[in-house]
Structure 1
Amino acid sequence: METVTQCPVCGNSTFSPFLTCEDYLVSNQKFSIQQCQACSFRLTNPRPDEQSIGAYYKSDQYVSHNDKSSGLVNTAYRLVRDYTLRSKLKLINELNGKPGHILDVGCGTGAFLETCRAGGWQVTGMEPDPEAQAVAADKLKAEIKPSLNSLNESQPFDIISLWHVLEHIHSLNESIQLLRQLLTEKGTLLIAVPNSNSYDAHYFKQYWAAYDVPRHLYHFTPSTIEPLFNKHGFTLVNQRPMVFDAFYIAMLSSRYQTGQTDYIKSIQTGLSSNAEAKRTGNSSSLIYLFKKA
């Protein structure tokens, strides 16, 4: 375990307890989430270090690293994923005007990159998990890089995407700086992360599945992610909701809360979360679009 002593956003060194959550996926250990007293940034602290975190991903139910995990919730995830993959392709085409060169960081088993390549994009993937990396490499018939550092000699990318990945990265500031170097001057950095200020986060509290401790090292909100990227020379140009996340997260959260998935409650909570987000902008998950300042 390691303890973070300085806030990655503002550098402050004093934190307050925010919430204690259980790892329902793998270990059943409890982990503390703390909040910076200066800027309110939330993080899992203490946390497993980079050498030991891999053990907390070893679950057949970790769906982004496994194309075959079973169960109704994961089946629903994959059905929705087919639609969202097409939506993501449409988004990057709008952002770039035409197919270009995309880097998907934390590409998992390569489903998004497969969709992009079919849409005419030149694709590059980065995935640290060896098993998911092997699946993606076989699917794409291409090398999948194991780290951002291994991409240093790559040509700049028109789009760099991190779909629910930033919250997993230990070296947060160093990685954002590397992402800036890998992006073309007019390129777009696309960051999708859960929003711990959403309706469903407040509703489920410590059972909210998107806290996903200890795999999620950070718990972003709109007011904390923007200053983090501003200090690395990025400007937020837009943010968009991920409406399906509210339902999927609610299904997992209800299972964590009661021991079984409450589908009716999950649908109701997802609808309430998305309705509230129309008023506040606080969707269950958000896509942030950054450009170089």
Structure 2
Amino acid sequence: MRINANIKYIEVEDFSVSKEKFELYMDENYQLLKTEPFPELDKLGSYYESPDYISHTDSKKTFFDKVYQAVKSKAIQNKYKILEDINITKGVLLDIGCGTGEFLVEGNNRGWNVLGYEPNEGARKLSIEKGISIVNELSEVEDHSVDVITMWHVLEHVVDLDEQISTLKRILKKGGTLIIAVPNYNSYDAKYYGKYWAAYDVPRHLWHFSQMSIPLLFNPYGFELVEKYPMLFDSFYVSLLSEQYKTGKKNWFKAFRVGLKSNIEARTNLEYSSLIYYLKKN
């Protein structure tokens, strides 16, 4: 895979941690954006060191935390509904970037043989405390041993896309299922908020995907895109954070209106704030 991101798309800022500025460049062949400058590997972890990075905690201290955790719980149920609609036989389910483990706890309760991978030490510890089996590296997972792999808002954080997709191909069984969820920079809320759009989340998000990106990236590795699903809550959550970045206030009602309009417009073009992609390994 040769990504040639050389067309400047937009200048953005890390509003949540470092306040540094970054630029996003377009690769027209893959229809994806790349964050520049690419953070040095030994520095990348420091951009996650913030109490506001809520996906690595189980915090319910503030009203916003409580809303986030409630929505996350509902979203987990929606994720398993998709797996049920796909009608997959329950087997080994690997969640890459499993965070604090709630998705896998639910999977275990539903009869899946669950396994997780989480690079963040704090989140990994919380997963282990909940009884989730965690691998330290994906190299520990045997070839062709996993029935379903899920990556919920993880692919955008991956440093080397070629290496990651090759690993997914190696560990997934023939005919296995790959579920990937990523933000969509062509959504209405992305266009509305521009450089303040929270889902750019630079430099933690190294890549930014369109609907075209996923099949273009995965088809050469023997994956077939079967279906796409919207993540309806994301437009509201992202709009809420975007309002704070833009105005200094969360502006709940304004964010709700923008999030709702984003979902309504996407009913015709599927340009939702985030999309779930269901792929099969041939």
Which of 203, 221, 225 is equivalent to 1:232? 221
Asked if residue 148 in structure 1 is aligned to residue 138 in structure 2, the reply is yes
Within a 5 Å distance, the mapping from 1:87-166 to structure 2 comes to 87-140=78-131, 142-151=132-141, 153=142, 156-166=145-155
Residue 143 of structure 2 contacts residue 172 of structure 2 at CA under 8 Å; is this kept in 1?
A: no
Residue 48 of structure 2 contacts residue 204 of structure 2 at CA under 8 Å; is this kept in 1?
A: yes
Q: Distance in 1 between matches of 2:5 and 2:79?
A: 38
User: Aligned pair count?
Assistant: 282
Residue 190 of structure 2 contacts residue 273 of structure 2 at CA under 8 Å; is this kept in 1?
A: yes
Within a 5 Å distance, the mapping from 1:212-223 to structure 2 comes to 212-223=201-212
Change in CA separation of 1:131 and 1:12 when aligned onto 2, cut-off 3 Å? closer
Greater displacement, 213-222 / 96-105: 96-105
TM-score (normalizing by structure 1): 0.92
Q: Distance in 2 between matches of 1:143 and 1:224?
A: 32
Residue 145 of structure 2 contacts residue 173 of structure 2 at CA under 8 Å; is this kept in 1?
A: yes
Asked if residue 66 in structure 1 is aligned to residue 57 in structure 2, the reply is yes
Displacement, 1:14? 5.4
Deviations 1:122-177 (Å, cap 9, x if unpaired)?
1000001111111101112x4411332232x2661111000000000101111111
- Ranges in structure 2 where 5+ consecutive residues have no aligned partner: none
Q: Distance in 2 between matches of 1:96 and 1:186?
A: 13
Displacement, 1:100? 1.7
Deviations 1:164-202 (Å, cap 9, x if unpaired)?
000001011111111111111121100000000000000
Counterpart of 1:103, as a letter, is L
Greater displacement, 62-71 / 280-289: 62-71
Asked if residue 248 in structure 1 is aligned to residue 237 in structure 2, the reply is yes
SS in 2 for 1:288: strand
Q: Distance in 1 between matches of 2:260 and 2:62?
A: 23
Within a 5 Å distance, the mapping from 1:1-293 to structure 2 comes to 11=2, 13=4, 15-68=6-59, 70-140=61-131, 142-151=132-141, 153=142, 156-293=145-282
Greater displacement, 174-183 / 237-246: 174-183
Displacement, 1:39? 4.2
SS in 1 for 2:40: coil
Residue 89 of structure 1 contacts residue 119 of structure 1 at CA under 8 Å; is this kept in 2?
A: no
Residue 95 of structure 1 contacts residue 188 of structure 1 at CA under 8 Å; is this kept in 2?
A: no
Change in CA separation of 1:101 and 1:13 when aligned onto 2, cut-off 3 Å? closer
TM-score (normalizing by structure 2): 0.95
Q: Distance in 1 between matches of 2:97 and 2:3?
A: 29
Residue 5 of structure 2 contacts residue 27 of structure 2 at CA under 8 Å; is this kept in 1?
A: yes
Q: Distance in 2 between matches of 1:274 and 1:232?
A: 32
Change in CA separation of 1:89 and 1:38 when aligned onto 2, cut-off 3 Å? closer
Counterpart of 1:56, as a letter, is Y
Residue 60 of structure 2 contacts residue 69 of structure 2 at CA under 8 Å; is this kept in 1?
A: no
Deviations 1:18-40 (Å, cap 9, x if unpaired)?
11111111111111111125443
Q: CA RMSD in A?
A: 1.5
Residue 195 of structure 1 contacts residue 219 of structure 1 at CA under 8 Å; is this kept in 2?
A: yes
